[in-house]
Amino acid sequence: MPDSPITIPADLRRDLTIQAIRSTIVDVPTVRRHKLSSLSVTAQSYVIVEVRLANGAEGIGEAATLGGPRWSEESVEAIKANIDAHLAPALIGHQADRFEATGVLLDSAAKRNNAAKAAIDTALFDAVGRTLGVPAHQLLGGLVRDSLPVLWTLASGDPAQEIEEAEAKLAARLHDTFKVKIGALSPDADLARMRRLTTALAGRARFIVDANQAWDETTANRCLPMLAELGVTLVEQPLPAWNVAGMARVRARSAVPLMADECVFSTHDMLGVAQAAAADVVSLKLVKHAGLLNLHKVAAVAEAAGIGLYGGCLLESSIGAAAHLQAFAGLRELAWGCEHFGPQILTDDLVEEPLRFEDFRVHLPAGPGIGVTLDRDKLRRYARA
Selecting among 58, 62, 262, 339, the annotated active-site residue is 339
Query: Pick the catalytic residue: 117, 181, 288, 378?
Result: 181
Distance CA 319, CA 373 (A): 8
Share of the chain above pLDDT 70, in %: 94
Separation of CA 383 from chain center? 22
Mean predicted lDDT score pLDDT of the chain: 94
| 341-356 pLDDT tens trace | 999 999 999 999 999 9
Distance of CA 192 to the CA centre of its chain: 29
Q: Where are the beta strands (DSSP E) in 96-204?
A: 147-149, 152-154, 177-181
Domains detected in the chain = 10-138 (3.30.390.10), 141-375 (3.20.20.120)
DSSP letter at 61 equals: E
Of the given ranges (28-42, 223-237, 246-260, 267-281), which has the lowest mean pLDDT?
A: 28-42
| pLDDT tens readout for residues 245-300 | 999 999 999 999 999 999 999 999 999 999 999 999 999 999 999 999 999 999 99
Contacts of 354 (CB under 8 A, 6+ apart): 318, 343, 372
Identify the CA nearest to 341 among candidates 318, 364, 367, 372.
318
pLDDT, residue 7, reads: 59
Is the pLDDT at 380 greater than 50, yes or no?
Answer: yes
Q: Which pLDDT band, with edges at 50, 70 and 90, does 43 fall under?
A: confident
Task: Name the strands in the sheet holding 40-53, side by side, starting at the edge strand that comes first in the sequence.
Answer: 18-35, 40-53, 58-64
pLDDT band at 2 (very low <50, low <70, confident <90, very high): very low
pLDDT tens-digit readout, 75-119: 999 999 999 999 999 999 999 999 999 999 999 999 999 999 999
Provide the 8-state DSSP code for 184: S
Length of the chain: 385
CA 295 – CA 118 distance, rounded (Å): 10
What's the predicted TM-score (pTM) here? 0.93
d(CA 206, CA 150): 12
pLDDT-derived band at 67, boundaries 50, 70, 90: confident
User: What average pLDDT score do residues 52-78 get?
Assistant: 92
339 is catalytic: yes
What is the rounded distance in angstroms from the CA atom of residue 207 to the CA atom of residue 190? 14
